[in-house]
Structure 1
Amino acid sequence: MILSHLGRPDGIYIPGLSLRPVAEYLATVFKHIPLSFTDELISMQVRQKMAHIRSGEILVLGNTRFMREEENDNERFAAEIARYGEIYINDAFAVCHREQASVHAITQFLPSYPGLMLESELAHLNKLLTEGTNRPYIAIIGGAKIKDKITALGNLLPKIDKVLVGGAMANTFLRAAGNKVGQSVFDQGQLYYAERLLNQFSDKIVLPTDYVSDIDDDEKFRILDIGQETINNYKQIISQAKTVFWTGDMGVAERHEYARGTQEVAQAIKASGAYSVLAGGDTISAVRNWQMDAGFDYISSGGGATLAYLAGEKLPGLVALKLQ
Structure 2
Amino acid sequence: MALKYVDEISLTDKNVVARFDFNVPLDKNDHTKITDTTRIDEALQTIRYILDNGAKKLVLMSHLGRPSGDKKEPEFSLEPVAKYLAEVLGEEVILSESCTDSGIKTLLSLKQNRIILLENLRYHKEETKNDREFAKTLATYGDIYVNDAFGTAHRKHASTYGIVAFFKNKAVGGFLLRREIEALNKVVNSPAQPFVAIVGGAKVSDKIKIIERLLSNVSDLLIGGAMAYPFLKASGVDTGISLCSDEDVALATKVLKSPNGKKIVLPKDHVCSKTFGGDPQVVNDAKIPEDMMGLDIGPRSTTLFKDVLFKAKTVLWNGPMGLFENEDYSAGTFAIAEALADSKAYTLIGGGDSVSAVKKSGLADKMDHISTGGGASLEFIEEGTLPGIQALKFGID
TM-score range, shorter chain: 0.7 to 0.9
Uncovered stretches (5+) of structure 1, i.e. residues with no partner: none
Partner of residue 296, structure 1: 367
Which one of the candidate residues 92, 98, 115 is aligned to 1:34? 92
Find out whether 1:25 has 2:57 as its counterpart. no
Structure 1 residues 259, 82: CA separation in 2 closer, same or farther (over 3 Å shift)?
same
What does 1:187-206 correspond to in 2, within 5 Å? 189-200=247-258, 201-206=260-265
Find out whether 1:276 has 2:347 as its counterpart. yes
The farther-off stretch of 213-222 and 300-309 is 213-222
Q: Deviations over 1:195-225 (max 9, x none)?
A: 3222113211222233223317966744322
CA–CA distance in structure 2, aligned partners of residues 163 and 38 of structure 1: 47
SS in 1 for 2:295: strand
- In the TM superposition, residue 311 of structure 1 has moved relative to its aligned partner by 3.1
SS in 2 for 1:49: helix
Asked whether the 8 Å contact 1:18–1:39 carries over to 2, the reply is no
Structure 1 residues 8, 196: CA separation in 2 closer, same or farther (over 3 Å shift)?
farther
Structure 1 residues 66, 210: CA separation in 2 closer, same or farther (over 3 Å shift)?
farther
- In the TM superposition, residue 307 of structure 1 has moved relative to its aligned partner by 2.4
What does 1:137-156 correspond to in 2, within 5 Å? 137-144=195-202, 147-156=205-214
CA–CA distance in structure 2, aligned partners of residues 62 and 267 of structure 1: 40
Find out whether 1:158 has 2:229 as its counterpart. no
Larger radius of gyration: 2
Partner of residue 182, structure 2: 123
What does 1:1-324 correspond to in 2, within 5 Å? 1-11=59-69, 13-31=72-90, 33-38=91-96, 40-42=98-100, 46-53=101-108, 54=110, 57-110=114-167, 111-131=170-190, 133-144=191-202, 147-177=205-235, 179=237, 181=239, 184-185=242-243, 189-200=247-258, 201-215=260-274, 221-322=292-393
Equivalenced residues, count: 319
SS in 1 for 2:372: coil
- In the TM superposition, residue 244 of structure 1 has moved relative to its aligned partner by 0.6
- In the TM superposition, residue 94 of structure 1 has moved relative to its aligned partner by 1.8
Asked whether the 8 Å contact 1:139–1:246 carries over to 2, the reply is yes
- In the TM superposition, residue 273 of structure 1 has moved relative to its aligned partner by 1.4
Structure 1 residues 108, 47: CA separation in 2 closer, same or farther (over 3 Å shift)?
same
Residue identity matched to 1:277: L
CA RMSD in angstroms comes to 2.7
Instruction: Give me the identity figure in percent.
Output: 38
Uncovered stretches (5+) of structure 2, i.e. residues with no partner: 1-58, 276-287
The farther-off stretch of 209-218 and 13-22 is 209-218
